[in-house]
Homo-oligomer: A and B are copies of this chain.
Amino acid sequence: MEEKAFQEFYPEELSYCYGCGRLNDQGHQIKSYWDGDETVATYSPKPFHTAFPGYVYGGLIASLIDCHSTGTAAAAVYRAESRAMDSDPPLRFVTASLHVEYLNPTPLGVPLEIRGSVKEIKERKVVVESKLFAEGKLCARGEVVAVLIPEHFLPSKP
């Protein structure tokens, strides 16, 4: 795995995402890395992230899959273009659609591993499959269609 997470390369104004922004003190601050051709993130839910006592809330699972997948999309395009992740212009993807299948109840109290793989890659659209595991068991499978962030969306262009 590489040393620095994808999200640590995001420019400051794009680093306030509740799911993965390193500057959002209230958020999950997930960090995603390459691991060969896959990407991986690990997150330990808080005790209050419950669905039913003992199990992880499905909305959190959707969030982790979402942010890890958009991060994967960006990293994959940088890699496909042989560009460093801190080169200009910054590439940042947003979610066009998110699909999550909940396959098994996800136990609370253990780290969750989210592994992403790129299913389809174009310059402005990337499809990522992310699987979420607890203690090695596949608990959820997600697919995210990520699109390059439209310029009018960017905070620097009001």
Residues of A participating in the B interface, judged by any CB pair closer than 8 Å: 13-14, 16-19, 21, 24-27, 46, 48-55, 57-60, 62-64, 66-67, 94-102, 105, 149, 153-155
- Tell me, in angstroms, the Cα distance from A12 to B13 when the chains sit together: 42
- Tell me, in angstroms, the Cα distance from A101 to B143 when the chains sit together: 12
Assuming the A-B contacts A97-B100, A100-B97, are A155 and B53 also in contact, with contact meaning beta carbons closer than 8 angstroms in the complex?
yes
Q: A99 and B99: CB pair below 8 A?
A: yes
- Tell me, in angstroms, the Cα distance from A59 to B63 when the chains sit together: 4
A-B contact pairs, 18 of them (CB 8 A): A14-B52, A17-B50, A18-B49, A18-B57, A18-B59, A53-B155, A54-B155, A58-B66, A59-B62, A59-B64, A59-B66, A59-B67, A62-B66, A96-B101, A97-B100, A97-B101, A97-B102, A98-B99
Assuming the A-B contacts A52-B14, A63-B62, are A95 and B102 also in contact, with contact meaning beta carbons closer than 8 angstroms in the complex?
yes
- Tell me, in angstroms, the Cα distance from A86 to B137 when the chains sit together: 36
Q: A94 and B51: CB pair below 8 A?
A: yes
